[in-house]
Structure 1
Amino acid sequence: MCLVTLVIGGDCGGTSTRVVVTTLDGAVVGRGRGGPGNPVARPPAEAAAALVGAVRDALAGLDPTDVVGAVVGVAGYSRLTTAEGAAAYASAWSSTGVPVPLRTVGDAVVAYASGAGDVPTGSVLIAGTGAIACEIVDWTVGRRVDGIGWLLGDEGSGFWFGVAAARHTAHALHAGTGGALVSSVHAAVGGTGPEGFVSAFYALARDKMAALAPLVFEAVRLGDPAAATILEDGADRLAATLLALPPGDGPIVLAGGLLIAVPELRSAVEARLDRTALLAGDAAEAAARLAALQVDAGVLRVVEGA
């Protein structure tokens, strides 16, 4: 008889929840996906239910009692430190049939681990819809810089780029000037003339404002000088956010949708750093690796053969 030992890793974000089941040596044997998993953006019970649904999908055809470790990174992790959040996740997890407790960590931890491998201390810069830099110390979040939301910070984020593009467009329309960026942003937002554009922009939902960010990068590729200036400004702000962390010798990991998907921005940020940064990989698989690292090999009895 062979005793199979499995671990679960998860990445619970504002858009979706992803879960993997792997062996201790990292071979993926199951995957699952659920709905939005940020317990700050939605009720903790709903976010926990999304996680449980993804776990059940990932465990399809597998025995939950073979799981010996489970780690998930959660956007909005602070909510899990409250009694309501902790109770919601504990109750939901008990329904999975997994015999080991769930360990939750901030999404910055698994983003860092996805690029840094097994090195437990370093730093991570995340730029997606929002932006934050975190010091990681022994797989826990230390000091944080920015990540304070779209009104007060998140500089160099998707929201920041979207607003910067709209700001430039509003001024250009009032001045009677144009360019690739102005044309694309005006077309996306709508409105007749400068005043109509401004009114249409203020009527947008926040996610629609952030959705203007790709227009900046498209205009950069078309050679628009205003877009290039905005990109350089955003790179300055992201690098400053990262460099405000305490200095250290550990790895620097770049993560988040903008830094992963926009090579022009990533290169601009890297040019402002004094050493080579690593690029984030799959956060759910990184969480599974963290779970495997926590498994005490001394308490496992693996029997090979019949």
Structure 2
Amino acid sequence: MRNMNEEVVLGVDAGGTHTRCLLVGLDGTIRGRGRAGGANQRSSADPAVSFINAVSASLREAGPVSVAAAVFGVAGAGAAGLATTEQTVLRAWRTLGLPGRPEVGDDIVVAFAAGTAEPSGAVLIAGTGAVAATIRDGRIERRCDGYGWLLGDEGSAVWLGIAGLRAALAALDGRGRATVLTERLAAALHVPAGSRQALIGAAYSMLPAELGSLAPRVCAAAEEGDAAAVEIVSTAASRLLESLAAVLAPPVQTPVVLAGSVLREGPVAERVRTALRERYGVRPVTAAPGEYGAAALALRRTGRSAQLHAQLLAQARYAPSPPAGGR
């Protein structure tokens, strides 16, 4: 049995490619961090193992502690996937021998809480997946997209990666314009640049969430002026803005939080930020890594203040940035 000493809260943010855990003392001091592979039920290889690895790593760093509250924000854990995600998280929780029951939900409220301590506003997420939502009193009021790589997630890293592959194949078979993506994406997948079949085989051998790793190559090509890549990036920004517009009702309630690797920096983020300023007069807030939002919500569950929530987010300025192409 673990020798339980200091009380802490635990926050987990799980996307399609990465799972991150943050342990925080009730005074807001960070006690431990952990990370593992993706934990989206629809697109990741083994979510339970990712939860176990991320949480256990943070517990090892923290030393003997007692978990007073825990919040898991998991991509793909909306209404359609919540029951399965809860079962997976609980299985991992019991395997680790932890007491009580963690709070499990999707990553939307967690992402919003990673940007602000305010109870209401809007959030636009574009990491491995993509979704827009308005939040009222800490709960989702309206949402758009977040339907997964097959049916939606328009403007996400996976969407960018797939669009880049389509452009590369169109160039190779003569349907589309010439693009540096034929060479760049082939190099990323370690296949010959001129082989359509090799490119197709490599793409189909990947998990859907892994296709998001190609997004930085597409964005880099756009920044260099490649016409096909510029069109993809511009379309991604337009799709994300359309999702946000579908949930916003004038006057736009602030803050508007931007979350996920695609909206942290780069050409899609620049286009979205410019449009928000021009259309709505809004200067969006960039979210901290999602585990900070989950831990902040866990602190709030123990009765801690909005001020402590804000102080925790301020500490995220010194945290390493998550890798591009994921969450």
TM-score range normalised by the length of the shorter chain: 0.7 to 0.9
CA distance in 2, matches of 1:186, 1:212: 10
Q: Which residue of 2 aligns with 1:292?
A: 299
Root-mean-square deviation (CA), in Å?
3.1
Q: Which residue of 2 aligns with 1:54?
A: 54
Map 1:183-202; keep pairs closer than 5 Å. 183-185=183-185, 197=196, 199-202=197-200
* Residue 253 of structure 2 corresponds to residue 246 of structure 1: no
CA distance in 1, matches of 2:246, 2:176: 39
CA distance in 2, matches of 1:131, 1:51: 22
Among all aligned residue pairs of Structure 1 and Structure 2, give the percentage whose two residues are the same amino acid: 36
Secondary structure of residue in 2 paired with 1:271: helix
Evaluate the alpha carbon distance shift between residue 68 and residue 80 of structure 1 in structure 2; reply closer, same or farther with a 3 A threshold: farther
Contact persistence 2:219–2:233 (CA under 8 A): yes
Evaluate the alpha carbon distance shift between residue 81 and residue 221 of structure 1 in structure 2; reply closer, same or farther with a 3 A threshold: closer
Evaluate the alpha carbon distance shift between residue 213 and residue 15 of structure 1 in structure 2; reply closer, same or farther with a 3 A threshold: closer
C-alpha displacement of 1:91: 4.7
CA distance in 2, matches of 1:33, 1:212: 21
C-alpha displacement of 1:253: 1.2
Evaluate the alpha carbon distance shift between residue 128 and residue 172 of structure 1 in structure 2; reply closer, same or farther with a 3 A threshold: same
* Residue 271 of structure 2 corresponds to residue 264 of structure 1: no
**Number of residue pairs matched?**
287
Evaluate the alpha carbon distance shift between residue 246 and residue 183 of structure 1 in structure 2; reply closer, same or farther with a 3 A threshold: same
Contact persistence 1:9–1:71 (CA under 8 A): yes
Q: Which residue of 2 aligns with 1:27?
A: 29
C-alpha displacement of 1:132: 1.5
CA distance in 2, matches of 1:75, 1:36: 9
Q: Which residue of 2 aligns with 1:120?
A: 119
CA distance in 2, matches of 1:157, 1:213: 9
Q: Which has the larger radius of gyration?
A: 1
Evaluate the alpha carbon distance shift between residue 121 and residue 281 of structure 1 in structure 2; reply closer, same or farther with a 3 A threshold: same
Map 1:121-270; keep pairs closer than 5 Å. 121-173=120-172, 174=174, 178-185=178-185, 197=196, 199-203=197-201, 204-205=203-204, 206=208, 209-247=211-249, 248-260=252-264, 262-270=265-273
Contact persistence 1:12–1:37 (CA under 8 A): yes
* Residue 280 of structure 2 corresponds to residue 280 of structure 1: no
C-alpha displacement of 1:148: 1.9
C-alpha displacement of 1:101: 2.7
Q: Which runs of 5+ in 2 are unaligned?
A: 305-327
Contact persistence 1:105–1:140 (CA under 8 A): no
Contact persistence 2:126–2:261 (CA under 8 A): yes
Q: C-alpha deviations, 1:24-49, integer Å up to 9, x for none? A: 23210112234432334468xx5345
Q: C-alpha deviations, 1:10-36, integer Å up to 9, x for none? A: 112333322121112321011223443
Contact persistence 2:16–2:128 (CA under 8 A): no
**Amino acid in the other structure paired with 2:246:** A
CA distance in 2, matches of 1:24, 1:236: 41
Q: C-alpha deviations, 1:76-130, integer Å up to 9, x for none? A: 2246643x654453354245454443111211221111112x1122222111232
C-alpha displacement of 1:179: 4.5
Q: Which residue of 1 aligns with 2:71?
A: 71
Range 119-128 or range 136-145, more displaced? 136-145
CA distance in 1, matches of 2:210, 2:69: 39
Q: C-alpha deviations, 1:109-163, integer Å up to 9, x for none? A: 21111112x1122222111232211222333333221122334322212233233
Map 1:69-108; keep pairs closer than 5 Å. 69-78=69-78, 81-82=82-83, 85-108=85-108
Evaluate the alpha carbon distance shift between residue 160 and residue 38 of structure 1 in structure 2; reply closer, same or farther with a 3 A threshold: closer
Secondary structure of residue in 1 paired with 2:283: coil
C-alpha displacement of 1:4: 3.9
Contact persistence 2:17–2:128 (CA under 8 A): no
